């Protein structure tokens, strides 16, 4: 447990992604089974113990410290696990050695709502403050130490020099402590048998097209729909929906569970019925509508009626035991088209191929896509196999040109890592009327990329010389610098005072020359909302 | 313990907490006033306690030297040695007693009409190679600080934290460890503790640290070989410890250093989010203030009839006094907050 606690502590203070990877990889290499597997499960929030709740910790503390002192401490520290770890009374007399992660997990797993009140203290007594923090976080779930599942998998791949795509594929079928996964990666054993379970397969991804031109004889074009990329899998009588990151989002979309009834792995875009994308015939609502459905644990009947979800299919990876991933796109496409009649039309349709005579013609079609609130085009090599990750030359995404708006820099915040001494995160605003008539700037977005290192230095200097207020790491500027901000789309949002939210805003140009009064009015942005 | 002279006003009314300091009316003196007064007693040299511009300043020689360095003024300086008693007038006597906080720091014992009041100023109970230790002294009223007055604050042994620092240095020989430390007290204590732990390599300083370190040396606190960052190249600093004021940690100044590991020596580092907010990668829990255990132990050992609590988290210490049947109240003084300890 001490090594795990030290890892958790180091991850809390480390902001660099590479350093996090290094720390996790080192831990995984140096820690024996099954400790490392349990630790991995804890880091990726794959552990839960029915007997231990947030309230359990509070109740334990109430038996040990004055309630007023507890509340004052908890308010100051801001985290129950940390407060408890610091306030836990050090036991008197000799205590046994700290438990291993495995012993802690076994013991937590055996606890009941009743026994937890006496057994959890015995574990806590054997640990120091850092150990107690790690144990409470592990027991109550939700480490929140900036380690995503993807990061953990990447670290695993790095630790044992195996491809992260393979890690993703094998990991999904396994339960903690993943001994078969470690045996495969660390000792070269045969890959874990995925068996008859609805596993996630890593997605094939695309590179941006940039300024390249492709021959439509070799490449086929499809719309890039503005939803979320999903994989729907049916195996062993069960259907699961996975997001781009491999997260199981089936729970948020129960209507999809019964929609696929034969063994298959399909790739597509999750959308909500509507008319914003592709007009009435396209049948998809804007991304904003889909957002109403994302991240929900329970879905009301009303939600299912108001925002009915469906998947627009792009590809087929596996069908009834036959792995098609090595086959060319042409062949997979034919298999996919043949599959459509077997699927319920209210839950699935086919992403149409965009017909164009030549590349210039395609460019014209793409230019007109603005009105349809489509993200752009995909270009796929007709003979491309389905390979995990991004392989050069196979698939390209060709996003429509960004929208542009001139905004005024309002606040700047210091960045992290190598940008830690620079003001690199910017909040900018547009005028809510005529500035000459006393209109104010309303914040409309935040961006922290799109500029070069040299420009960053210039903006940093500008911020320092034009500060009117400081709030911790944030500086308020005198609102004199104009940024040309590029963004993909803009949506209505109740969360922001301006009533709108940009997607993917980034700094496109720094308008050193432009007076702030000539920046855009918020009405110009509102006019671009297509919800 | 409280003995009231029949001739004088009872309930310690001769000493009052005003928003801008503690006022001793019969003597016409203030303790640690936050604005200029004709006559001030100063517990120690930190900016929230010691300010320039007073008519007369009564303090230990080291505190006066520190104030002179910081405010370039020595007008009306009246030095008082530890253990020495000065008559303030109005039948009030003041004695300066070591507080163990920083060089020159003192508790001030005030005696009037048979009543004894101690104003601790800032203090700690742990050993510090740069100043004499806190002395427990009996009194009727103890005016105590409460900067770390929450039970979550338990400063670990300083050797453990120094160990974390030297380990980071060994683990990353191509980088430097940049330690943010309060320029008066914390920086010198950290350096002295590093020397005591056997770290004899040159330690590099931010320019703002130089003169205070020299002052410590002048008062007989050996700090070993110190060099200025400004005089050296990036390569010289690889594998070295660099000490700077906390404000310089994320400043442009740090760009000249070889991939610094950002550390900070402060009692606040006990709380993870506090460290994260300051972008600290290597938190060192080293404080010149009493932690919760030291605060409560001090109240028990001094055993005053009444405890007055000031600057910090008064509420929790007040609650502790209540739970232990001790008379206590919180004073509302302005201007004291030690974010950098």
| Mean pLDDT (whole number) for B301-316 | 91
- The yes-or-no verdict on residue A4 having pLDDT over 90 is yes
Beta-strand pair B115-119/B141-146:
parallel
- The yes-or-no verdict on residue B301 having pLDDT over 90 is yes
Collapsing DSSP to helix, strand or coil, A373 comes out as coil
DSSP string, B131-191: SPPP-----SEEEEEETT-STT--PPPHHHHHHHHHHHHHH-TTS-EEEE--TTTHHHHHH
Interface A:B, Cβ pairs < 8 A: 67
pLDDT class of A56 with cuts at 50, 70, 90: very high
| ipTM score of complex | 0.92
- The yes-or-no verdict on residue A295 having pLDDT over 90 is no
Q: Do the beta carbons of residue A410 and residue B239 sit within 8 Å?
A: no
- Please name the residue ranges forming H helices in chain B: 61-71, 158-171, 186-196, 210-218, 272-277, 292-302, 314-323
Option in B250, B282, B313 nearest A421 (CB): B250
- B293 vs A: CB within 8 A: no
Identify from B147, B149, B152 which residue to disrupt to test chain A contact, counting A C-beta atoms within 10 A and taking the largest count.
Answer: B152
pLDDT tens digits, one per residue of A88-147: 999 988 889 999 999 999 999 999 999 999 999 999 999 999 999 999 999 998 777 778
Name the token pair of B242: 């660099």
Q: How far apart are CA A123 and CA A133, in angstroms?
A: 12
pLDDT class of A464 with cuts at 50, 70, 90: confident
pLDDT (0 to 100) of residue A282: 58
Closest to B240 in 3D by CA, of A528, A269, A109, B231: B231
| Mean pLDDT (whole number) for B188-216 | 97
What is the distance in angstroms between the Cα of A510 and the nearest Cα belonging to chain B? 22
pLDDT tens digits, one per residue of B36-85: 999 999 999 998 888 888 999 999 999 999 999 998 777 799 999 999 99
Interface contact B283-A421, CB threshold 8 A: no
- B332 vs A: CB within 8 A: no
Option in A69, A77, A129 nearest B319 (CB): A69
Domains by residue range for chain A, with CATH: 2-140 (1.10.3260.10), 204-399 (3.30.470.30), 403-526 (2.40.50.140)
- The yes-or-no verdict on residue A78 having pLDDT over 50 is yes
pLDDT tens digits, one per residue of A344-392: 999 999 999 999 989 999 998 888 775 555 788 999 999 999 998 888 8
Name the token pair of A481: 């610098």
Q: Which residue of B has its CA nearest to A414?
A: B250
pLDDT class of A5 with cuts at 50, 70, 90: very high
| Mean pLDDT (whole number) for A448-471 | 88
Beta-strand pair A506-511/A482-487:
antiparallel
Strands (E), A72-169: none
More confident residue, B77 or A472: B77
Chain A residues lying within 8 Å of B315, measured CB to CB: 72
The kind and range of the H/E element at B18 are strand B15-18
pLDDT class of B6 with cuts at 50, 70, 90: very low
pLDDT (0 to 100) of residue B10: 47
What is the distance in angstroms between the Cα of A395 and the nearest Cα belonging to chain B? 38
| Mean pLDDT (whole number) for A489-512 | 88
pLDDT (0 to 100) of residue A192: 83
pLDDT (0 to 100) of residue A474: 85
- The yes-or-no verdict on residue B181 having pLDDT over 70 is yes
Beta-strand pair B115-119/B106-112:
antiparallel
Strands (E), A52-194: none
pLDDT (0 to 100) of residue B255: 86
- B252 vs A: CB within 8 A: yes
pLDDT (0 to 100) of residue B209: 95
Q: Do the beta carbons of residue A22 and residue A10 sit within 8 Å?
A: no
- CB proximity list for A221: less than 8 A, separation 6 or greater: A353, A354, A356, A362, A377, A378, A379
- The yes-or-no verdict on residue B4 having pLDDT over 60 is no
Chain A residues lying within 8 Å of B275, measured CB to CB: 13
Domains by residue range for chain B, with CATH: 15-152+289-330 (3.60.15.10), 158-284 (3.40.50)
Least confident of A69-73, A165-169, A182-186, B263-267: A165-169
pLDDT class of B93 with cuts at 50, 70, 90: very high
pLDDT class of A420 with cuts at 50, 70, 90: low
pLDDT (0 to 100) of residue A147: 83
Interface contact A15-B275, CB threshold 8 A: no
- B171 vs A: CB within 8 A: no
The rounded mean pLDDT for chain A is 89
Chain B residues lying within 8 Å of A68, measured CB to CB: 316, 319
Strands (E), A278-393: 284, 309-319, 322-323, 348-350, 353-354, 376-381, 389-390
More confident residue, B311 or B151: B151
């Amino acid at each position: 447990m001490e090594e795990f606690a030290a890892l958790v502590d180091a991850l809390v203070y480390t902001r660099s992604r590479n350093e996090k990877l290094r720390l996790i990889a080192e831990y995984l290499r140096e820690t024996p089974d099954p400790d490392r597997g349990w630790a991995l499960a804890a880091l990726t929030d794959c552990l839960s113990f029915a007997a231990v709740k947030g309230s359990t910790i509070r109740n334990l503390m109430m038996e040990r410290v004055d309630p007023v002192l507890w509340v004052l401490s908890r308010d100051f520290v801001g985290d129950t696990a940390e407060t408890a770890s610091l306030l836990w009374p050090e036991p008197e007399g000799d205590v046994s050695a700290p438990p291993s992660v495995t012993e802690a997990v076994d013991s937590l797993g055996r606890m009941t709502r009743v026994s937890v009140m006496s057994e959890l203290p015995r574990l806590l007594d054997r640990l120091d403050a850092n150990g107690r923090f790690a144990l409470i976080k592990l027991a109550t779930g939700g480490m929140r130490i900036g380690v995503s599942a993807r990061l953990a998998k990447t670290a695993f791949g790095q630790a044992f020099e195996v491809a992260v795509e393979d890690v993703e594929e094998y990991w999904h079928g396994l339960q903690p402590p993943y001994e078969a996964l470690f045996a495969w990666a660390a000792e070269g054993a045969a890959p874990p048998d995925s068996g008859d379970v609805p596993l996630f397969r890593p997605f094939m991804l695309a590179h941006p097209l940039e300024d390249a031109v492709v021959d439509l004889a070799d490449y086929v074009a499809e719309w890039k729909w503005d939803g979320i990329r999903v994989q729907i899998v049916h195996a062993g009588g069960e259907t699961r929906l996975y997001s781009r990151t491999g997260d199981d989002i089936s729970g948020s979309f129960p209507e999809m569970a019964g929609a696929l009834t034969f063994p298959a792995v399909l790739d597509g875009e999750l959308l909500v019925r509507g008319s914003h994308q592709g007009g009435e015939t396209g049948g998809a609502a804007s991304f904003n509508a889909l957002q109403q459905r994302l991240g929900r644990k329970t879905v009301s009947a009303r939600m299912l009626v108001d925002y009915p979800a469906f998947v627009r299919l792009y590809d087929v990876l596996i069908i009834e035991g036959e792995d098609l991933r090595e086959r060319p796109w042409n062949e997979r496409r034919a298999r996919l088209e043949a599959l459509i009649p077997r699927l319920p039309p209210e839950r699935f349709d086919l992403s149409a191929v965009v017909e164009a005579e030549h590349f210039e013609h395609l460019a014209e079609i793409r230019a007109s896509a603005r009105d349809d609130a489509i993200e752009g085009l995909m270009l796929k090599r007709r003979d491309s196999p389905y390979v995990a990750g991004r392989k050069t030359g196979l698939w390209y995404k060709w996003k429509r040109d960004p929208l542009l708006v001139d905004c005024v820099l309002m606040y700047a915040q210091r960045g992290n890592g190598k940008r830690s001494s620079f003001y690199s995160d910017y909040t900018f605003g547009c005028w809510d009327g005529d500035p000459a008539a006393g209109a104010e700037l309303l914040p409309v977005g935040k961006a922290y990329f799109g500029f070069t290192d040299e420009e960053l230095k210039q903006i940093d200097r500008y911020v320092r010389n034009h500060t009117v207020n400081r709030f911790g790491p944030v500086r308020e500027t005198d609102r004199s610098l104009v940024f040309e901000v590029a963004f993909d789309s803009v949506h209505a949002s109740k969360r922001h005072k301006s009533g709108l939210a940009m997607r993917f805003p980034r700094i496109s140009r720094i308008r050193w020359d432009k007076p702030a009064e000539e920046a855009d009015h918020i009405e110009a942005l509102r006019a671009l909302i297509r919800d | 313990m409280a003995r009231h002279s029949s001739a004088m006003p009872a309930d310690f009314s001769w000493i009052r907490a005003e928003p801008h300091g503690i006022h001793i009316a019969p003597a016409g003196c203030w303790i640690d006033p936050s604005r200029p007064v004709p006559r001030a007693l100063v517990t120690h040299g930190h900016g929230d306690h010691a300010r320039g511009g007073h008519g007369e300043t009564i303090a230990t020689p080291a505190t006066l030297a520190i104030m002179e360095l910081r405010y370039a003024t020595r007008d009306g300086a009246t030095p008082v040695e530890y253990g020495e008693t000065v008559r303030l007038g109005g039948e009030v006597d003041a004695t300066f007693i070591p507080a163990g906080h920083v060089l020159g720091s003192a508790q001030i014992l005030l005696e009037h009409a048979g009543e004894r009041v101690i104003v601790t100023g800032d203090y700690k109970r742990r050993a510090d190679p740069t100043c004499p230790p806190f002395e427990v002294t009996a009194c009727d009223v103890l005016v105590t600080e409460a900067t770390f007055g929450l039970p979550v604050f338990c400063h670990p042994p300083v050797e453990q934290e120094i160990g974390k620092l030297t380990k980071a240095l060994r683990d990353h020989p191509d980088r430097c460890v940049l330690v943010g430390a309060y320029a008066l007290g914390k920086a010198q204590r950290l350096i002295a503790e590093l020397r005591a732990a056997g770290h004899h390599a040159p330690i590099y300083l931010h320019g703002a640290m130089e003169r205070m370190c020299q002052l410590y040396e002048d008062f007989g606190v050996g700090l070993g070989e110190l060099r200025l960052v400004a005089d050296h190249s990036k390569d010289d600093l690889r594998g070295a410890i660099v000490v700077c004021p906390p404000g310089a940690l994320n400043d442009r100044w740090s760009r000249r250093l070889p991939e610094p590991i950002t550390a900070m020596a402060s009692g606040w580092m006990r709380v993870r989010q506090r460290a994260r907010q300051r972008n600290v990668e290597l938190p060192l829990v080293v404080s010149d203030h009493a932690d919760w255990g030291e605060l409560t132990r001090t109240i028990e050992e001094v055993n005053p009839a009444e405890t007055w609590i000031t600057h910090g988290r008064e509420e929790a210490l007040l609650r502790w006094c209540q739970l232990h049947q001790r008379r206590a109240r919180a004073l509302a003084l302005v201007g004291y907050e030690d974010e950098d300890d």
